[in-house]
Structure 1
Amino acid sequence: MTTIIRGGTIVNADRAFRGDVLCFGDKIVAVGEQLDAPANATVIDAGGQYVMPGGIDTHTHMQLPFMGTVTADDFFTGTAAGLAGGTTTIMDFVIPDPKQSLLEAYRTWRGWARKSAGDYTFHVAVTWWDESVHADMGTLVREHGVNSFKHFMAYKNAIMADDETLVKSFRRALELGAIPTVHAENGELVYQLQQELLQKGITGARAHPLSRPPEVEAEAANRAIAIAKVLGTPVYIVHVSCAESLEAITRARAKGQRVYGEALAGHLVIDDSVYASEDEDFARGHVMSPPFRGKHHQAALWQGLRGGNLHTTATDHCTFCAEQKAAGADNFTRIPNGCGGVEERMAIVWDAGVNSGTLTPSEFVRVTSTNAAQIFNMYPRKGVIEVGADADLVVWDPNGTRTISAKTQFAKGGFNVFEGRTVRGIPTHTIAAGKLVFERGDLRAEEGAGRHIDRPAFTTTQA
């Protein structure tokens, strides 16, 4: 199967130039001007549009069992929605139960992911510690293409990793050539604040941000960065939501420490006023952790992306319907945490970032695909348009518009945190592994077409 994209402006993280992109099978085989193509090739006219690497969402939760329920999007519906928005690869999370074998959990998630429509790869969470976890981490890196391990510093009495677990897991990751990632919130502080709010009778969704102020995120980010510094390992901070956490990352990077930060599309454009709504379904629909913050935090996050101290954009896509969220109607701590966004991320970042002049098109590519591919060792297979790279591409109309609505989205859950927002800059075509899977609103996702992407270890200090 041959596809040629003609006449667009090709945008990579380092430069933009006019040209054609020729794909054969699942690879890019030529990039240049006025390329020859077989008579039977599929031709996509990209005149007046950009051609960019398919997006990589570094943070999703498809089919996640969480807080007594399971997310509305499974690996097929979630990855299909991503394709409609220009995201061709997701990085999801294997989350073992406490005392569960990492390998056992990994096999479960791999089984669920077989129905994916787009490519996928996994971070594996370390939720407890003994010598079997030490061994499983080695097996996952050497035999299963895993090079990142997640640590929840929140969710006390569930999956929270204590400092002993962090230290041992960080050290093991360094030995294996893997990178630790952390959800930075002080779980003990969150728990205590939750109990105090409940005792005061503050039980609705408006209590959620009060129980997770920026200070609890900043403390955990500083602690994770300090542990990583002592051990000499890099560290990746997921869903940075506040100026204080960004300041911790910026200080460490200024001193030469390898610290990477991720921003969520939602945190970039939505503020904490959503929790004050009198519509409790609406307020609960925005409950995620960390919560949405005040507007000055959004300004800081954009500065971090532009200045290079935040590196990736993601969604934490974790969809629940109103009935699921209503489990916490009388107790905000029981509201399943999570919002969608895998379908909207690229357009939100373009509309709010590029259209405002905050990001250039090349910087957009950097924070939506290239940096992710480089940090997690998928580059140059992913994150760049060049010969030999995967044929994962998005044709982008900078003048096209879309008004976001749960009524027209492909994702499940029946709610959209970006509801009613009109974005300028949308995908017209998405090509995944050389196949045209989205064309001007027509989604052609195929269940099971996605591939698991092995990510090799980085340089190791020992076997």
Structure 2
Amino acid sequence: MKTIIKNGIVVTSGSIFKADILIEGESITSISSHITQESADKIINAEGQYVFPGGIDVHTHLEWPLMDTETADDFVSGTKAAAVGGITSIINFTKPEIGASLIPTQEEWIEKGKKSVIDYGLHAIINHYSDRVLEELPILAETYGVGSIKLFMAYKGEMMVNDLEMYKIMKKAGELGIITNVHAENGDIIDEMIAQALAEGKTDPIYHGYTRPTIMEAEATGRALAIAEAANAPIYIVHVSCAEALEKVVEAKKRGVQAFAETCPQYLVLDISYLDQPNFEGGKYVCSPPLREKWNQDALWNGLQTGIISVAGSDHCPFRYEGQKTMGKDDFSKIPNGLPGLEDIFSILYHFGVHKGRISLNKFVEIISTNPAKLFGLTKKGDISIGKDADIVVFDPNRSRVITAECQYQNVDYNAYEGMKVQGVITNVLSRGEVIVKDGQFIGDLARGKYLHRSRVQNQESMANLQKDGQFREPVK
């Protein structure tokens, strides 16, 4: 199968140019100012449109059990939503039972992911420490191509590890070239603040925000970075939501720590006022860390622009409002934590970033595609160049759309960005050379996604380069 994308404006992390792209089978085989059409099976006319590498969302929670329920999107609905939204690869988190072996957990989640319509990888969550965990890390890396794990500093009794356990796990991971994702909030103090609020009869969603203050995110972020420094291990702080936590990343980078940060669209465009809505509407916006005061957004956008924040991930952890979010109607601590975002992260970042003049087109590609590929060992993804997988998004910047739950693929009964008008419309999405989205409709085959066996060598080389790029910036004010 030969496909030619004609007359598009190709945008990569380093360049912008008009060109034709030849795709043969699953790969890009030629990029030229003019490619003849005679032998092509399919022609896509991209005149006046941007041609981006497919988005890579490295922070998703599909089919994820949490708080006596499970996220509303499985690997079918979730990856369809991703594809329609310009995401052509995801890395989902596993969810092991306490004390369970990492190996059968990994195999279970690989099997779950076979329903995916796009390519998928897995981060291995580790929620306990044992000698067996350390013994299984090399097997995860070598046999299953897992180049990343995740540790939690919150959710005691379910996912949280202590500082010593974190140090031992990170040290072993670092020796293996595995990067550690960290959820950085001070779980012990947050649990006490939640208990105090409930004892005082404070049950509304806004108290979710008040009991998880920025100082507790910043404290845990600084502590995690110090542990990574002591362990001589690379660290990736997920979902940075506030300026105080970002300062800790800046300080660590200045010390030479292999420290990387991610933020999410909800922290870039939503704020704590969304939690303070009447009739439990605020329950829709409960996530952790919580939405912050609006002024933090400028610091986060600046972090993306300067390279202090390397990646934007959706933290797609969707729960339906009716029947799931409403579990916590009388007690905010029982509201399942998480927002839907996989379908709209591409559009949100483009509109509020590029269109609003906060980041360049090249920076947009860097944070939504190229950096995720480099950091997490996706050697065939993240760029438009010869030999790469033909994961491509054709995007019309002259059209606009309104985000609404009425026409989304996400299996939720609301949209966190409801009613927002965003500039730019995705017209075609290709995954390994196959057109799977046309004009907002998924047209691909089911269960076509491939499991991504990731490279740790690429991880280490790319981390060194990214570290250099973001190391000596001034602190974000």
Q: Which TM bucket (shorter chain)?
A: over 0.9
Could you report, residue by residue, the CA deviation over 1:371-401 in whole angstroms, capped at 9, with x for unpaired residues?
Answer: 011111213x111000100010000111221
Residue 117 of structure 2 is matched in structure 1 by: 117
Residue 30 of structure 2 is matched in structure 1 by: 30
Contact 1:178–1:458 (CA under 8 A) maintained in structure 2: no
Amino acid across the alignment from 2:438: E
Contact 2:147–2:459 (CA under 8 A) maintained in structure 1: no
Name the CA shift for 1:437/1:417 in 2 (closer, same or farther; >3 Å): same
Amino acid across the alignment from 1:230: A
Amino acid across the alignment from 2:410: A
> The residue matched to 1:340 in structure 2 has which SS?
coil
Contact 2:114–2:449 (CA under 8 A) maintained in structure 1: yes
Could you report, residue by residue, the CA deviation over 1:243-273 in whole angstroms, capped at 9, with x for unpaired residues?
Answer: 0111111111123221110010111100110
Query: Is 2:430 the partner of 1:415?
Result: no
Could you report, residue by residue, the CA deviation over 1:122-142 in whole angstroms, capped at 9, with x for unpaired residues?
Answer: 110111011111111111001
Residue 443 of structure 2 is matched in structure 1 by: 444
CA positional deviation for 1:95: 1.9
Tell me, in whole angstroms, the C-alpha distance in 2 between the residues paired with 1:83 and 1:252.
35
Contact 1:56–1:89 (CA under 8 A) maintained in structure 2: yes
Amino acid across the alignment from 1:231: A
Contact 2:249–2:259 (CA under 8 A) maintained in structure 1: yes
Tell me, in whole angstroms, the C-alpha distance in 2 between the residues paired with 1:16 and 1:41.
27
Query: Is 2:322 the partner of 1:301?
Result: no
Residue 182 of structure 1 is matched in structure 2 by: 182
Residue 64 of structure 2 is matched in structure 1 by: 64
Name the CA shift for 1:62/1:292 in 2 (closer, same or farther; >3 Å): same
Name the CA shift for 1:38/1:121 in 2 (closer, same or farther; >3 Å): farther
Unpaired runs of 5+ residues, structure 2, are: 461-477
Residue 197 of structure 2 is matched in structure 1 by: 197
CA positional deviation for 1:459: 8.4
Tell me, in whole angstroms, the C-alpha distance in 2 between the residues paired with 1:69 and 1:260.
31
> The residue matched to 2:96 in structure 1 has which SS?
coil
Contact 1:22–1:35 (CA under 8 A) maintained in structure 2: yes
Amino acid across the alignment from 1:437: I
Residue 453 of structure 1 is matched in structure 2 by: 452
CA positional deviation for 1:37: 4.0
CA positional deviation for 1:460: 11
> The residue matched to 1:458 in structure 2 has which SS?
helix
Name the CA shift for 1:93/1:460 in 2 (closer, same or farther; >3 Å): closer
TM-score w.r.t. structure 2 length? 0.94
Matches within 5 A, 1:321-336: 321-322=320-321, 323-336=323-336
Matches within 5 A, 1:192-271: 192-271=192-271
Percent sequence identity over aligned pairs: 38
Name the CA shift for 1:408/1:459 in 2 (closer, same or farther; >3 Å): closer
Tell me, in whole angstroms, the C-alpha distance in 1 between the residues paired with 2:63 and 2:254.
39
Contact 1:83–1:445 (CA under 8 A) maintained in structure 2: no
Residue 149 of structure 2 is matched in structure 1 by: 149
Contact 2:120–2:450 (CA under 8 A) maintained in structure 1: yes
Name the CA shift for 1:140/1:38 in 2 (closer, same or farther; >3 Å): farther
CA positional deviation for 1:416: 0.7
Contact 1:2–1:38 (CA under 8 A) maintained in structure 2: no
Tell me, in whole angstroms, the C-alpha distance in 2 between the residues paired with 1:137 and 1:94.
14
Unpaired runs of 5+ residues, structure 1, are: none
Residue 103 of structure 1 is matched in structure 2 by: 103
Matches within 5 A, 1:301-380: 301-322=300-321, 323-379=323-379
Contact 2:82–2:342 (CA under 8 A) maintained in structure 1: yes
Residue 402 of structure 2 is matched in structure 1 by: 403
Instruction: Out of 31-40 and 222-231, give the one that drifted further.
Output: 31-40
CA positional deviation for 1:40: 4.4
Could you report, residue by residue, the CA deviation over 1:69-126 in whole angstroms, capped at 9, with x for unpaired residues?
Answer: 1111000110110110110001110121210111121111111111000111011011
Could you report, residue by residue, the CA deviation over 1:195-220 in whole angstroms, capped at 9, with x for unpaired residues?
Answer: 00000100121110011110111111
CA positional deviation for 1:457: 2.0
Could you report, residue by residue, the CA deviation over 1:149-201 in whole angstroms, capped at 9, with x for unpaired residues?
Answer: 10011111211111122011101101211111101111101101100000010
TM-score w.r.t. structure 1 length? 0.97
> Aligned residue pairs: how many?
459
CA positional deviation for 1:318: 1.1
Amino acid across the alignment from 1:411: Q
Contact 2:381–2:389 (CA under 8 A) maintained in structure 1: yes
Amino acid across the alignment from 1:10: V
Tell me, in whole angstroms, the C-alpha distance in 1 between the residues paired with 2:136 and 2:172.
11
Instruction: Out of 245-254 and 35-44, give the one that drifted further.
Output: 35-44
Instruction: Out of 397-406 and 252-261, give the one that drifted further.
Output: 252-261
